[in-house]
Amino acid sequence: MNHKKNILVRGARVIDPASGRDEVADVFVKDGKFVAQLSAEEMKSAQIIEANGMILSPGFIDLNCRLGEPGRSARETFRTGTLSAASGGFTTVVTMPDTIPTADNVGTIQLIRELCDAHAVVNVLPASALTKQQEGKALAPMGSLKKAGIIAATDTTSGVQNNEIMRRALEYANTFNLVVLDHCQDSSMTEGAQMHEGTWSLRLGLRGWPRAAEEIVVSSDCVLASLTKARIHLQHISSAGSAEIIRRAKANKLPVTAEVSVLHLLLTDAALAHYDTRLKVNPPLREESDRAALIAALIDGTIDAICSDHSPCTSTEKDCEFDLAPFGAATLETAFSAAYDALVATGHLDIKLLITRLTTGPAKVLGIDAGTLTVGAAADFVLINPKTSWTFNTENQLSKSGNNPLIGKTFSSRIHSTFVGGKAVIADSKPV
């Protein structure tokens, strides 16, 4: 379908958290943007989509995913990764810089943008490394990287282990109005760790990963945010203690935001009872008390966004002893459906708040004009079927990776259609 085609979506429940809109209404698209109405002449050539019983929302924004390229195309490509994103309702994704080569220079960022222009079907916003080679020693050239098109900077799972370097990185990033994304892990406490430190790690004979390894860095990041006044976003928070630290930081008006991954809202460390390596993730799945605290923090706004934390691996990489398997799970395709089942179907929160944490929440973190149905905005939107039963399996999987731990699971809601700039990427839950 051509980008310039006029569209009328008729009869959907329209939810737009940015404007507070929640009503059954028609939505109009012209030249790839939302408009208040189409003229009689424009209606003659418009595509009409009957959406009774569906929910129309802004396209989702993912703050934390990996799309394989460059360097790891055996795991994922920009084509397969962004198709997976669209299938999960994401129209904008932030891709992490732990590529090969590391995205710590202008040349690699330019390569990523060229690959996206050629192959991506959703909007891809590249994040750069915070330090050169993500080694935590020397700062990456954020000024030139900002000009090259980065949206944020992060050392991903390496994390900056030196607080003086982190302070200077925050100050430097703030000069260019860049948000720093931080993976909160004190690596001196997690060497050799495989899963959450608790009853299940003892039962399974696996080295434990204490909550404190995360909470120490969350605490220091909040202190540094107070010192530098720079924006810092805490990635995939996993513990109740972390949520409470962030809650106090926000009460003190610190420029701190946070996200939680879908898997941490859905599952606990008990899911590892059979040593499923697809559930070996970083940070690890924790206990039910942590999951409950994360949901509470999501509801009260302590946690701003839900992310996919899509980290694709090949089936071969994961097909080994638990200790040897890499961390990561591929989750883009199932992110919305899993979040819906974990939060809405269980009565923890309503669909409007879930959509908020997938749209305006992440948009505010990045400071971008996205995640809205406002007239004049790019027509990035999704149609959700909130009452359908479907089973995710390898036959309907779009990701190139083989490490989605929810293969075989039946969900109660599904993304029906995804539009990017007024162009259908997913229709009737299939690629266009």
Q: What residues are annotated to the active site?
A: 309
Structure tokens belonging to residue 315: 């089936």
- Nearest Cα to Cα of residue 174 among 226, 256, 129, 230: 230
- Nearest Cα to Cα of residue 242 among 185, 282, 202: 185
What is the rounded CA–CA span in Å between residue 51 and residue 172?
48
Query: How many CA atoms does the CB half-sphere of 199 hold within 13 Å?
Result: 6
What is the rounded CA–CA span in Å between residue 325 and residue 335?
22
Neighbours of 310 (CB within 10 A): 32
What is the rounded CA–CA span in Å between residue 280 and residue 160?
22
What is the rounded CA–CA span in Å between residue 166 and residue 90?
31
